[in-house]
Copies of this chain bind each other. A is one copy, B any other.
Amino acid sequence: MKRHFQKKSLPLDKVRRYLEPGPIVLVSSALNGRHNIMTMGWHTVMEFSPSLIGCVIAGSNHSFDMVRRSGECVINVPTTALTDEVVGIGNTSGAEIDKFDRFGLTAEKAREVGAPLIRECYAHFECQLVDDSLVRKYNFFIWEVVQAQAAVSPKYPQTLHYTGDGVFMVSGKIISRRKQFLPDML
């Protein structure tokens, strides 16, 4: 499977197409000239427009302070081509290693935020923190996506969906029921 994708900008209200299915994502961040990556499975779409994403980033993650203090991150969607990297990133700490170096990933300049994109991923959502009212109680961050890109092909990527216990389910097979939907429900 490809590790490099040709990408195009997306309208921000289309972000749900890539995140609502619930893939494991890689969150990249930067602060004071350092960058980091973490794996994340606890996230949800919250609104089409503005494009809002809620997610849990536990205080034990090295990324917690970086995203909270910078108020920015990039949510990157990896495919099964990056399974080893996803596992490795989730099992190491940015306090000890540079994860871009360790896992052979490319930090690419984002358009709207200081956090880097991970070039080898299928899609990138540049985010600004808009609500931290539930961070103290639940480690729950609410982000506005301010810039979005996704690969031109394949149309539906093979994504990883984490079940715990070291096991991922893979999405990729498609069922279209478009004809059964009311026009205003699409």
Contact = CB atoms under 8 A, between A and B. Distances in A.
Given A91-B185, A140-B46, A162-B20, A176 B167 contact: yes
A186 B164 contact: yes
Oligomeric state, in copies: 2
Interface majority SS (helix, strand, loop, mixed), chain A: mixed
Interface string A139-180: 010100000000000001001111111111111111111111
A20 B161 CA distance: 7
A134 B138 CA distance: 13
Contact of A161 (B21, B91, B134): B21
Interface of A: 14, 16-18, 20-23, 41-47, 52, 54-56, 80, 83-84, 87-88, 90-91, 133-134, 138, 140, 142, 156, 159-182, 185-186
